[in-house]
Amino acid sequence: MNQTWLTLLRRDLLLALRRRSDIATTLFFFVIVSSLFPLGIGPEPAVLSSIAPGVLWVAALLAGMISLGRLFAADFADGSLEQMLLAPQPLAWLVSAKIFAHWLVCGLPVVLLAPLIGLQYALPNDALWVLVYSLLLGTPTLSLIGAIGAALTLGVRGSGLLVALLVLPLYIPTLIFGAGAVAASQHGMSAEAHLSLLAAVSLLSLVLAPLATAAALRISVE
């Protein structure tokens, strides 16, 4: 059972590695979008650091979303999704491997880059760390919930926009708690409450999203 899961994970990572432009697009998007704000708004540190949590989180959210279309679309087009559906393992379990691979490729690099970007916004050291923690806890939710949207819109024309409409409202709790955690630490308060809630949302989606995604995939393939 684990071997199938690991094979699927390895396959998706290998494919990402052979098609590096896909990873680069996500990262470049995150870097550019979050770098445009300081350029547009001006260099006052007070203004920048007050908008930083929201801007960085929204940028991370959008960056994660533009790569969602690729999560199942290629597998659907070349028939490997059918083969995945016919594997003896539970589909939700296999789907979780694909979602994990998506997070490793699109979520984790954003988490690692975020403190560098945060420096542009004159974020203090503590807040930078909280930013990293919040993204580490929150970005898996983005991949998990995004997978449901990607599976539901599989094979639909203009699915990119549809995914955004479906998924962005569901990202709101993650955005609020994520940005809230950073803001709280900026104001000298403890970010623990926000981070706990963020982790709770993550755990909840970890349990539910693979099941919902599997159900959506079965419908889409039919």
Partner 1 sequence: MLTAQGLACVRGDRLLFKDLGFVLEAGSLLYVLGENGSGKSSLLRMLCGLLMPGQGEILWAGKSIKSHAEQYLPNLKYLGHLNGLKDDLTALENLQMGARIAGQDVTAAAALAALTAIGIARCANLPVRVLSQGQKRRVALAALWLSRSPLWILDEPFAALDVAATEVLAARISEHLAAGGMTILTSHQDVPIKAKSTVSLSLSA
Residues that bind partner 1 (CB under 8 A): 3-4, 7-8, 10-11, 14-15, 18-19, 74, 77-80, 82-90, 94, 221-222
At residue 129, φ and ψ (nearest 5 deg) are -65, -45
Among 113, 117, 116, 121, smallest CA distance to 50 is for 121
Position of tokens 């159900």?
215
94/151 with CB nearer partner 1:
94
CB 154 within 8 Å of CB 76: yes
13/170 with CB nearer partner 1:
13
84/197 with CB nearer partner 1:
84
CB 135 within 8 Å of CB 117: no
79/188 with CB nearer partner 1:
79
Among 181, 207, 17, 13, smallest CA distance to 96 is for 207
